[in-house]
Structure 1
Amino acid sequence: MSTAQETSSGTTLSRLHDAVNTGDAEVISKTIDEIVAPDVLFHAPVPTGAAGAQALKQVWAVLLRAFPDLHVAVEDVIAKGDRVVCRNTVTGTHLGEYRDLPPTGKSVRYNEIFIFRFVGGRIAEIWGVVDVFSQMRQLGVIPGGSS
């Protein structure tokens, strides 16, 4: 992938982050349809029975129901070849059910790293590492208080 293609991939991810930060499930879904391959391979825990872009849409629907003020702050973006890596800080307030946990009203702040592979200008594959341990500790599910 050329430098121009790497820049284009970074721009595509900016569109995704901008959509996510609207908090509007419809905007997120439409953006996913535009920039993600329908058969995207999503290497992260996803809702049962979902695959491809539909799984990604379901993940965001679940997150927005649980954390309606969810915000993803992009800390680093590294592009190389057909891949882009994003390191993010996520914040939100737990106001809806999440992982069978009723709303706590607690704020969370956790880190995540995602690697995106592009084919033909669209996201074709995603690997994600999310600090769920920190998230669960802040929600009181795991002892240790907030961090």
Structure 2
Amino acid sequence: MSATRPTHDLGVFARLHEAVNSGDAELVFKAIDEVVDPDVVVRTPLPIDATGAQALKEVFGRLLRAFPDLHIAVEDVIAEGDKIVYRNTVTGTHQGEYMGLAPTGRSISYNEIFIFRFADGRITETWGVVDVLSQMRQLGIISGAFS
């Protein structure tokens, strides 16, 4: 394995991250086309029918419509071999429909941890853990029985 591989993969990761934080869905879709394998295996359960890179486009499209000020702050990054693990905090203001819920104007902040596997300079597999319970509580969809 080349010593420059994790560095290159970090650059690919940074390209996608910068696009997501731009708030521009078209820029995000372009970045996905550039850095994600079209047949990427997304191992995070998603409430959509799309697969591959199209699934990622749909997820980010929905998030950006619901939270136009979406921001992902990377807290930790670990690169090892063909994988990058990152822990982040997501913030945004609910200004568009999200999971059937009309805009509330509420601000949210929740945590995620993702693993990206790379091959040939592209993201080919992902795993993610998203604090959806925190999202639901902050949006008022469920009450905070375990706060």
> What SS class does the counterpart of residue 48 from structure 1 fall into?
coil
Partner of 1:122: 122
> What SS class does the counterpart of residue 90 from structure 1 fall into?
strand
Structure 1 residue 46, shift from structure 2 partner: 2.8
CA–CA distance in 2 between the matches of 1:111 and 1:90? 6
TM-score by length of 1: 0.95
CA–CA distance in 2 between the matches of 1:98 and 1:23? 16
Q: Which runs of 5+ in 2 are unaligned?
A: none
Partner of 1:74: 74
Partner of 1:27: 27
CA–CA distance in 1 between the matches of 2:87 and 2:3? 20
Contact 1:66 1:98 (8 Å CA) reproduced: yes
Any residues of structure 2 matched to 1:53-92 within 5 Å, and which?
A: 53-92=53-92
AA matched with 2:104:
T
The ranges of structure 1 where at least 4 consecutive aligned residues each deviate by more than 4 angstroms after the TM superposition are none
CA–CA distance in 2 between the matches of 1:119 and 1:18? 21
Output one character per residue of 1:37-86: Cα deviation in whole Å (capped at 9) or x when no partner.
00000111335331100010000000001100000001110001100001
AA matched with 1:74:
V
RMSD of aligned residue pairs (Cα, Å): 1.3
Q: Which runs of 5+ in 1 are unaligned?
A: none
TM-score by length of 2: 0.95
AA matched with 1:59:
V
Report % sequence identity: 65
Q: How many residues align?
A: 146
Output one character per residue of 1:11-62: Cα deviation in whole Å (capped at 9) or x when no partner.
1111111000000000000000000000000111335331100010000000
